[in-house]
Amino acid sequence: MIRVATRRSPLALLQAEEVAARLHGLGAEVKVVPMRTEGDRRAAARLAEIGGKGLFVRELEQALLAGDADVAVHSLKNVPAELPEGLVLAVYRERQAPHDVLVTRRDATLDSLPEGAVVGTSSPRRRALLLAETRLHKLESARLDAVVLAAARLRRLGLVPSQAVALPIETVVPAVGQGVLAVQTRRDDDRTLRWLESLDHAPTRTAAIAERAFLSRLGASCTTPMAGHARLDSACGRGPVLLMTALVISEDGRRVVRASASGGPEHAEAIGRDVAETLLERGAASITPLLQEQSLR
């Protein structure tokens, strides 16, 4: 029996069921184990004030370490850069749409929203980026003009708002790991690791390695308005090239530091760290105190 730990939210359950179905298709006996996390229990609190998105994975990781679950399914953007000792991200599922979407009351784009429009988002990254240039029902209940949401979230829930506009990745750079499902297990659980082998998507893993190396070097969290996105590109005709772009932005959107890098997929981790180093060299640490100590390492 492979016990799949997951949060109880509708999206998290859908994601866990997807992984469970793939394992069942391989012949494994599978059970989904829904759990409430600290982040769920304190849903009304501002994440930045209670510990960040890591609160959505902590109980699931504890269940793995205690032997109460065999795998945990996470949205990768919720997983901190540093994992608990003994755990590993064994699978990166194929990335879904990584971009954000603008959902409006009426047909509109980001550029055509009226001056003073109220745009809802729970993400410090999205808030800062929107100043520089939650949820669907809040369009009415909170008298918002628009909300900004992750496209992958809407797609997985089967929601297709008629007035949704994709925001270009070059302008609204996605969060690290956005659109990626990660499957975590114990490093020494050889049996479970063998079941999981065929579920991994190699191109997504390459991009995720670069993005998480970037995150690790900056020592950033969801409370830091920053973003990083990597992708493989084969357009040059000389084999795939990994392209990465990233930024750090002040909370008021007034200061933005950007950087990019490219190279062979085999250098994914180095590319992610190089982008972070470039941002630090360009003054990223001066934008937010959360990065100042990390810049000295």
State residue 50's pLDDT score.
Answer: 40
Q: With CA atoms as reference, report the closest residue to 150 among 182, 102, 188, 117.
A: 102
Query: Which is more confident, 131 or 214?
Result: 214
Average pLDDT value for the chain: 82
What is the arrangement of strands in the sheet containing 256-263, beginning at the earlier edge strand? Answer: 226-233, 241-249, 256-263
Best mean pLDDT range from 57-61, 155-159, 232-236: 57-61
Q: Give the model confidence (pLDDT) of 247-270 as tens digits.
A: 998 877 788 899 999 999 999 999
Domain assignment of residue 226, yes or no = yes
For residues 84 and 16, membership in a common domain is answered with yes
For residues 67 and 194, membership in a common domain is answered with yes
Q: How far is CA 34 from CA 22, 68, 118, in A?
A: 18, 12, 35
Q: Give the model confidence (pLDDT) of 143-179 as tens digits.
A: 666 777 777 777 777 776 767 777 888 888 888 999 9
Say how many domains are in the chain. 3
pTM of the model: 0.81
User: How many C-alpha atoms does 244 have within 13 Å on its Cβ side?
Assistant: 37
State residue 132's pLDDT score.
Answer: 62
Residues, the chain: 297
For residues 70 and 188, membership in a common domain is answered with yes
**Which domain covers residue 159, as residue numbers?**
100-166
Domain assignment of residue 225, yes or no = yes
**CATH number of the domain where residue 248 is located:** 3.30.160.40
For residues 196 and 58, membership in a common domain is answered with yes
In the predicted model, is pLDDT for residue 244 greater than 60?
yes
